[in-house]
Amino acid sequence: MDVFLTLWKNAPIVAFLLFLISTLSFAIFLERMANIKRSKILPKNWQVIKKELLNRNYDVVLTILSKDKKPVSQILVELLDLYLKKEIKKGELLQLLEEKLSIVYRDFHKGINFISLSVTLATLLGLLGTVWGLIEIFGAYGLGSETGLKMLAKGIATSLNSTAAGLLIAIINYILYWLVKERINSVYLKILKELENLIERIT
C-alpha cells in the first residue's frame, strides 16, 4: 500500500492511470465471471426440452425455445426448424451447431481483451513513472545540497515505486485474464457437450 501512496504523492498522473486500468480490468473480470455460467447460457427449462425432444415432441420444444431470447435458444430453433423441414440432415446438424456456437464463443470474450491489454499498459506506465523519477534524479544534481538530496530521494522513490506498482498490477491483471479465459473455455466445452448430446436425441 505504501508503494501506491508514495507513487500517488510523487507521480499522481501515473498513479491515477494505473488505478484506472486496474479498476476497469477488475470490473470486466467480475462481470464476465458472473455472466459466463452454464445456467445463464443454456435455454430455460433445459431438462424439459431434453425430455420432450426424446419423446419427439418437436413442436413443444420449438415453442419453449422460441420464448427464450438467449442466443443458444435461437440457434437451436433455427437448426431444429431446418431439420424438420428436411433442409439439412442429422449429420449436418453438429457441424452447423459448432459454426453457430463459434459466434457465441466470441461473445464470451467481450471485454476481456482489455484485461490482456492492461497487462502491457500497466508495465508501460510503470516504466513511464521510472523515467519520470530518473528525470527528477538528474535534475537534483544541479541544485544545492539539501534541496538536491530531497529531490534525489524523491526521484529514487518515484522510480522504484512506479516500477513496483506497474509490475504488481500487470501480474494481477494477467492472473485475472487467465482465470476468466479458463472459465470461458470450461463453460463453452460443457455447453457444446450438452448441445451435442441434445442433437443425438433427435431421431
Mean pLDDT value of segment 101-122: 88
Answer with the residue of higher pLDDT: 171 or 47: 171
Asked whether residue 98 carries a pLDDT value surpassing 60, the answer given is: yes
Total length of the chain: 203
Asked whether residue 143 carries a pLDDT value surpassing 80, the answer given is: no
Q: Which of 72-76, 93-97, 144-148, 184-188 has the highest mean pLDDT?
A: 184-188
- Contacts by residues 188-195 (CB-CB < 8 Å, ≥ 24 positions apart): 188/101, 188/104, 188/105, 188/108, 190/38, 191/38, 191/41, 191/42, 191/72, 191/101, 192/98, 192/101, 194/38, 194/42, 194/46, 195/72, 195/76, 195/97, 195/101
Q: How confident is the model at residue 183 (pLDDT cuts 50, 70, 90)?
A: very high
d(CA 66, CA 106): 23
- Residue 150 domain boundaries: 2-201
Radius of gyration of the chain (CA): 27
Asked whether residue 4 carries a pLDDT value surpassing 80, the answer given is: no
- Dump the DSSP string for 147-202: HHHHHHHHHHHHHHHHHHHHHHHHHHHHHHHHHHHHHHHHHHHHHHHHHHHHHHH-
CB 48 within 8 A of CB 63: no
Q: Which range (12-26, 76-90, 128-142) has the least confidence?
A: 128-142
Question: Nearest to residue 119, comparing CAs of 28, 184, 36, 13?
Answer: 28
In the predicted model, what is the mean pLDDT of the chain? 81
Tell me how many domains the chain contains.
1
Q: How confident is the model at residue 78 (pLDDT cuts 50, 70, 90)?
A: confident
* H-state helical runs in the chain: 2-10, 12-35, 38-41, 46-54, 58-67, 71-84, 90-108, 112-140, 145-201
pLDDT at residue 92, as a whole number: 79
